[in-house]
């Protein structure tokens, strides 16, 4: 039995499903490959730029297929629904990223100390393809102060050893890749910088992090820096990382003080 013209299956809806499915698989494979070190970051970024192209093509085929179904009664409603849902699923994080680019200032290196930011011990592994480590311009400093007022250093009424222990405890909970342990000579000199390699939220890109602990009479001052290795816009990731870490450090230091008082 042959199909009547009204029962023809829309080719566009089939291509909608195929394009969207390919975008989903491509995104999942490249993310997992990058997460486990099988795909380098530069190639990963190129693939991330291609994925929304396939998702957008799926939407174009979907729109054409919908018009055929609506006008001529072609078959393909299931393909159309599946394709549109997968395409929108893939494009959702790109939409969130676009909104963050609009809402958050274009920064990629954030520090609690704008005048003398902590050095980044892990920066020695950076390559020429990564962001340059240059001081923030006056305009960037103003943007940080206006948009991230909570990104400020901390002063604790604790000894150097106690503060270092608290910082290391919070770092261990973050699961970041730590640099070398603090040098005893630096501890004796009254200033220690602990470096780590973190990962950005969702995109899983490497980020250099440094926590500087400075002895100041009967207290210690903690400053922190977070610098993205890729991208001109960190989507607010660095500031959120610093704010979250210092909030956790506040709780850790308070817990230590409470335990010592018992």
Chain mean position to CA 242: 12
Residues 208 and 124 in one domain: yes
Stated pTM of the model: 0.87
Number of independent structural domains in the chain: 2
Element (H, E) at 191: strand 191-199
Q: What is the pLDDT of residue 72?
A: 80
Residues 257 and 150 in one domain: yes
Q: Which domain holds residue 33?
A: 5-103
Residues 173 and 249 in one domain: yes
Token pair for residue 126?
């950076």
CA distance 126 to 133: 10
Confidence of residue 182 (pLDDT cuts 50, 70, 90): confident
Q: What is the pLDDT of residue 1?
A: 41
Q: Would you say residue 79 has pLDDT above 50?
A: yes
* Chosen domain end from 103, 124, 141: 103
Secondary structure of residue 109 in the 3-state scheme: strand
Task: Tell me phi and psi for residue 91, to 5 degrees.
Answer: -80, -15
Instruction: Calculate mean pLDDT across residues 93-116.
Output: 95
Tokens 């997992």 correspond to: 32
- Whether residue 144 contacts residue 136, with contact meaning beta carbons closer than 8 Å, is answered with yes
Q: What is the pLDDT of residue 10?
A: 84
CA dist list (Å): 69 to 11, 75, 87: 11, 7, 19
Q: What is the pLDDT of residue 205?
A: 94
Q: Give pLDDT tens digits for 139-148.
A: 999 999 999 9
Beta bridge mates, 207? 198, 228
Q: Give pLDDT tens digits for 3-31.
A: 455 568 888 999 999 999 999 999 999 99
């Amino acid at each position: 039995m042959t199909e009547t013209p009204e029962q023809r299956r829309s080719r566009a809806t089939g291509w909608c499903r195929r394009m969207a499915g390919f975008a989903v698989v491509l995104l999942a494979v490249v993310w997992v490959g990058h997460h486990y070190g099988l795909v380098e970051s530069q190639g990963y970024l190129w693939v991330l730029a291609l994925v929304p192209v396939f998702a957008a093509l799926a939407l174009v085929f979907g729109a054409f297929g919908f018009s055929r179904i609506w006008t001529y009664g072609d078959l393909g409603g299931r393909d159309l629904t599946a394709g549109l849902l997968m395409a929108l699923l893939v494009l959702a994080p790109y939409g969130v990223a676009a909104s963050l680019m609009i809402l958050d200032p274009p920064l990629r290196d954030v520090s609690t100390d704008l005048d003398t930011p902590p050095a980044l011990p892990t920066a020695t592994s950076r390559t020429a393809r990564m962001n340059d480590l240059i001081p923030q311009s006056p305009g960037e400093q103003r943007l940080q102060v206006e948009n991230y007022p909570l990104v400020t250093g901390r002063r604790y009424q604790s000894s150097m050893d106690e503060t270092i222990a608290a910082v290391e405890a919070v770092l261990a909970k973050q699961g970041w890749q730590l640099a070398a342990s603090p040098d005893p000579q630096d501890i004796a000199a009254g200033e220690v910088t602990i470096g780590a390699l973190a990962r950005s939220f969702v995109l899983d890109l490497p980020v250099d992090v440094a926590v500087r602990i400075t002895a100041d009479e009967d207290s210690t001052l903690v400053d922190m820096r977070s610098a993205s290795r890729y991208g001109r816009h960190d989507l607010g990731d660095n500031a959120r990382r610093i704010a979250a870490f210092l909030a956790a450090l506040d709780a850790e230091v308070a817990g230590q003080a409470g335990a010592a008082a018992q």
